[in-house]
Structure 1
Amino acid sequence: MHKAVLPLLLIFVMAYSADSVFAEQARLATYHEVAQVIVDQKISNNVTASISLQTTSIQEFQIPHELDAKIRNSTDIVGIIITNENQCILGIHDQICVMINTKRESGQGGIIEAQDKAREIGDRYIDDINSAFSLNTKFHSVFIHYDDSSNEALETSGQVSGAGTVSTVYTAQVQSTDYMFNKISATLMPAQIRSMGGFFEVAQKLAKDDNSRMTFTILPREHDYVMQLKVSEKYPNTAKDTKVIDTLKLFKVDEIRKSNYFAGGFFPLNSLIHVVILPIGNDVRIHTNTNVIDAIEKNNQTIPADITESGWFFNSKSESKIEVMYLFGEEFSAKRQDLIMTLGEKESTPEKMDVPGANEMYILIGIGIVASGAAVYYLKGFKTKKNTT
């Protein structure tokens, strides 16, 4: 998880430095919107585009009080996932899944004991979950994750479904992503937020595609939990042939706008576009169609020189991963042409960077802990400034 959140941690270090002129003016909201593209030339050969809407606030994502109280008062649950992914765990196809995940402690006992305990915990929650989201899932099975194979199928981090996790799985007849996204977003999100456009509108559009999938995740933490609603689409077997990354084309839009939820102030880190390229070799360079934000070193970290600028910030220092984040700065929108990037050897491009191992890849793509997760996770140090809209 911490590897996944490092890029935004660095941005926060810079954004709220006391000696920055705009540090006093910059604000953070608990609601985050992130558009992410993964170009995986090295492992899966897939391109994946996703929109994530995330918050820690039960005013912004409203779940029933009874379910909220159960989650907050429990130390058993490590994740609750609702998804129409083709394979939520191995062996389940074309069904809605509710996965109630617990952690199997070492020395806890045999397989049957672990399954029985997980089933007992899951049964405490499933009626509340079904009621909250108008589902009719029934118990299917208990799945013990001995390795990270289901991470690849569902694109989750190890915290959600890695080795040592036990999933109590409840299933129902599959529903389209369009139907599920609109039903769950209407249940969760106040009309005020849904009517303010932004990345939510892009998610709605992406959800209409037959190949898209939807996932809603609740990830408990020590004192609260992260909630994320995500729509994603894979473009299989296309990554190795990708020379041009037409970011917004993958989302089927020509322009992307920040939510009007952020119109009342300067919220530079609540709307982000995050691109990760895992190239085959270590000699790949990237050319952008728009401004590249200068990097500076601060507290032994590389951070953007100016968050009021719009443009791409290269925040990977490894030799095998290219990781780029688009910051809107003081702008409120970006057009398709501005977000096109070209892979190749170009003299005018930033220094080459390189790819993580397979284990890191799935951390990067995780359901609830990618870029937007970082923003929420590291807000703890930002208590003295206003943090809601």
Structure 2
Amino acid sequence: TIAIVSALIALYTIKLMRDSENMGIFFSLYQLFFLGMIGLALSTNLIEFFVFFEISVVASWALINEWGSGEKEKVALKYFLFTEAGALCFLAGIVATNGYVQTLEIYEIPTKIAQLQPDVGILVAIVSAMLIGFFVKMAIFPLHSWLPDTYVEAPTPITALLSSAMSGLAAYAIVRIVFLYTPTLQYIAVVMIVLAVITMIYGAVNALGQDDFKRLLAYSSISQMGYILLGLGAAAFAISIGASNLATIGATGSMFHYIAHAMGKAILFLLVGVFTLQIGTRSISQMGGLASKMPFTAVMMFIGFFTLMGVPFTSGFISEWMIFTGAISSASLAGEAFKILMALIAIIATALTFAYALWSIRKILFGQTPPQLNGAKEAALSLLAPLIVMALLSLFLGLYPTIFTKEINNTILSLISSTAP
């Protein structure tokens, strides 16, 4: 996912930013950003993981600081300070793991915990420090305040990459690392679920009130990270009570939603660049009736939002179905009242997502075209081609999800079995 999305965004960037200065340096930093994310995903050692995390943070900070817009230096500094604070929390967890669990190798953690049986309170403290770091990167409420301004002022291709690939890697880290500290899951699962629900609703409600299309998508990203965390929280709860098969539903849904969100949100953020280039604005109130003037762009917008909404035949439908199925099933283990409450939360979150998505579609693509946009034309195919590829991938994965979900499910089952006493 990281490689595909990064490559397509790079192709888009060549066309969008062809007149910008120092593009050689830009793409060098872009490749460094990509290297950090790939290295992070492939790391088998906690120190490796931290180093690649830092590489991605520094590279993305430099890209925002140099090629951003508005108060780019201030925004880049805020982004850097927040993510570095999160990184230091993660590092504290690494140091404590080395001291109390006596390993830095990720796959040795369950074995060492079983052998040494360290105090659960210490393990909870270690995991809490790591989770703070990951929650900052995912922009989970209340550690989210860096994200809206960063996404708005960052260069559009970098915003697309941050939202589609980088933020979701923190969720991957929770599965890859935090789930290995099995004795702690009974203490952190409910906290994860509560924060996920707040984040889902908070992000969606704030998206509803935005006129800047890019800021709307930024708040949407916060909400979508809440979806991913909900599936992981439900999985953590199921693991803590021994329901391993149930745990795979939510966790698999979350990891598949990482892929679905990457495709859908990358399309939408890249459309911000298309609108800015073609009509000179990203203000929703200054748009209207663009479906007839930019039909291919309109189709891309439909597919992007449909993926986030979880409309059937898109990858988002499969991922959200699995997340909510896992969450409701896990809640039912705690009692019928919790099952009903989780079902209501799923309905509310979905309704809010539909609300801001359909509102955006109606305001931008339909209605009366403002006089200044009467001459609007479709973007060049070379600019839209990467979006078309991502749209087709989203539809393909919606029709054939088992290509990914089967492998994800097997991997998570293997991980859970490795933590069993």
In the superposition, the TM-score normalised over structure 2's length comes to: 0.26
RCO comparison, higher one (Cα < 8 Å, 6+):
1
- Larger helix fraction of residues: 2
In the superposition, the TM-score normalised over structure 1's length comes to: 0.28
